[in-house]
Amino acid sequence: MKTPNKYLLLILTLGLITGCADDNERNYQYFPDMYQSQAYEAYAESELFPNQTTALKPAEGSVKRGWMPFEYADNEEGYQRAKKELENPVPYTEENLLKGEELYGYYCAICHGDKGNGKGWLVQQEKVLGVPSYDDVGRAITSGSTYYVIYHGRNLMGSYASQMNRKEMWQVTQYVMKLKRELEDKDELPFDKDTIKNKQLFSTSDKLELTN
Amino acid sequence: MKYITVIMSSLKMTLTAFMFVFFLSATGQDTAEETSSESGSGQEEVIPGADLAKGEELFKSICASCHKRYEKAIGPALHGLTERREMEWIYKWIKNNKKLRESGDQQAIAIYEEYNKTAMPAYPQLSNQDIDNIVAYAEQPKPEPKQKVAAAPQGGQAGGQKGSGMSTEVILGILAFVLLMLSVVLYLVNRTLNRFAEANGVPVKQEEDKEPRKPIWVAFAENQFLVVITVVVVLLGVAYGAYGFLMQVGVDQGYEPVQPIHYSHRIHAGENKIECKYCHSSARVSKHSGIPSLNVCMNCHKQVNEVAEETATAQYSKEFYDKEIQKLYEATGWNPDEMAYTDEKKPVKWVRIHNLPDLAYFNHSQHVTVANIECQKCHGPVEEMEIMYQHSSLTMGWCINCHRETQVNVKDNGYYKKIHEELSKKYNVDKVTAAQMGGIECGKCHY
Contact criterion met (CB below 8 Å) for B366 and B401: no
Residues in B closer than 8 angstroms to A125, CB to CB, are: 272, 308
Instruction: Tell me whether residues A118 and B73 touch, CB distance under 8 A.
Output: no
With 0-12 / 13-18 / 19 or more C-beta atoms within 10 angstroms meaning exposed / middle / buried, residue A130 is buried
Name the residue with higher pLDDT: B42 or B398.
B398
Pick the most confident of A60-64, B214-218, B231-235: B231-235
Element (H, E) at A7: helix A2-20
Q: Does the pLDDT of residue A64 top 50, yes or no?
A: yes
**Domains of chain A and any CATH numbers:** 76-189 (1.10.760.10)
User: Does the CA dihedral B92-B97-B101-B105 come out positive or negative?
Assistant: positive
Distance of CA A100 to the CA centre of its chain: 13
Burial A12-29 (b: 16+ CB within 10 A, else e): eeeeeeeeeeeeeebeee
Biggest CA-to-CA distance, chain B: 121
A190 vs chain B: nearest CA distance in angstroms?
23
Element (H, E) at A121: helix A121-124
Residues in B closer than 8 angstroms to A26, CB to CB, are: 252, 255
The pLDDT value recorded for residue B362 is: 93
Residue A146 φ/ψ, nearest 5 degrees: -65, -45
Contact criterion met (CB below 8 Å) for A106 and B279: no
Amino acid occupying residue B284: R
B120 vs chain A: nearest CA distance in angstroms?
9
Q: Which of A28, A126, A130 sits opposite B66 (nearest CB)?
A: A130
| Interval B425-438 mean pLDDT | 82
Instruction: Tell me whether residues A24 and B298 touch, CB distance under 8 A.
Output: no
Angle subtended at Cα B149 by Cα B146 and Cα B153, rounded to the nearest 5 degrees: 110
Pick the most confident of A46-60, B79-93, B136-150: A46-60
Mean pLDDT of chain B: 80
| Interval A76-94 mean pLDDT | 89
Instruction: Tell me whether residues A158 and B295 touch, CB distance under 8 A.
Output: yes
Name the residue with higher pLDDT: A156 or B276.
B276
Percent of chain A with pLDDT over 70: 81
Distance CA(B248)–CA(B245), nearest Å, equals 6
- Residues with Cβ < 8 Å from B344, sequence gap 6 or more? B333
Q: Which of A45, A137, A158 sits opposite B125 (nearest CB)?
A: A137
Instruction: Tell me whether residues B119 and A76 touch, CB distance under 8 A.
Output: yes
Give the lowest-confidence range in A170-179, B95-104, B240-249, B277-286: B95-104
Instruction: Tell me whether residues A138 and B123 touch, CB distance under 8 A.
Output: yes
How many H helices and E strands in chain B? 19, 2
Q: Does the pLDDT of residue A66 top 60, yes or no?
A: yes
Instruction: Tell me whether residues B308 and A127 touch, CB distance under 8 A.
Output: yes
| Interval B311-319 mean pLDDT | 88
Coarse DSSP helix, strand, coil percentages of chain B, rounded to the nearest 5 percent: 55, 0, 45
Q: What is the dihedral of CA B192, B198, B202, B206, to 10 degrees?
A: 90
Residues in A closer than 8 angstroms to B67, CB to CB, are: 130
Whole-Å CA distances, B361 to A33, B66, B288, B396: 16, 47, 11, 11
Residue A45 φ/ψ, nearest 5 degrees: -90, 135
Contact criterion met (CB below 8 Å) for B256 and B388: yes
Contact criterion met (CB below 8 Å) for B291 and B261: no
- Residues in a beta bridge with B334: B341
Q: Which of A98, A99, A96, A128 is nearest to A112 (CA)?
A: A128
Distance CA(A53)–CA(A50), nearest Å, equals 7
Give the lowest-confidence range in B2-6, B110-114, B415-419, B421-425: B2-6
Report field, pTM of the whole predicted structure over 0.90: no
Can you tell me whether residue B265 is helix, strand or coil?
Answer: helix
The pLDDT value recorded for residue B28 is: 42
Distance CA(A210)–CA(A168), nearest Å, equals 9
Instruction: Tell me whether residues A164 and B389 touch, CB distance under 8 A.
Output: no
Residue A62 φ/ψ, nearest 5 degrees: -75, 145
The pLDDT value recorded for residue A196 is: 57
The pLDDT value recorded for residue A14 is: 62
Q: Which of B142, B132, B143, B144 is nearest to B46 (CA)?
A: B132
Whole-Å CA distances, B350 to A44, B101, B156, B222, B263: 10, 49, 20, 63, 10
Distance CA(A28)–CA(A132), nearest Å, equals 53
Q: Does the pLDDT of residue B22 top 50, yes or no?
A: no
Angle subtended at Cα A82 by Cα A78 and Cα A88, rounded to the nearest 5 degrees: 150
Distance CA(B249)–CA(A21), nearest Å, equals 12
Contact criterion met (CB below 8 Å) for B117 and B99: no
With 0-12 / 13-18 / 19 or more C-beta atoms within 10 angstroms meaning exposed / middle / buried, residue B220 is exposed
Q: Does the pLDDT of residue B294 top 70, yes or no?
A: yes
Residue A59 φ/ψ, nearest 5 degrees: -55, 150
The pLDDT value recorded for residue A180 is: 93
**How many C-beta neighbours within 10 Å does residue A92 have?**
17
Element (H, E) at B14: helix B2-38
Mean pLDDT of chain A: 81
Burial B234-264 (b: 16+ CB within 10 A, else e): eeeeeeeeeeeeeeeebbbeebbbebebbbb
Pick the most confident of A124-133, B53-62, B243-252: B243-252
The pLDDT value recorded for residue A105 is: 94
Q: Which of A23, A131, A165 sits opposite B254 (nearest CB)?
A: A23
Instruction: Tell me whether residues B389 and A26 touch, CB distance under 8 A.
Output: no
Distance CA(B281)–CA(B315), nearest Å, equals 31
In this prediction, residue B163 has a pLDDT band, given cuts at 50, 70 and 90, of: very low
Pick the most confident of B35-39, B159-163, B165-169, B326-330: B326-330
Q: What is the dihedral of CA A184, A190, A195, A199, to 10 degrees?
A: -60
| Interval B84-94 mean pLDDT | 82
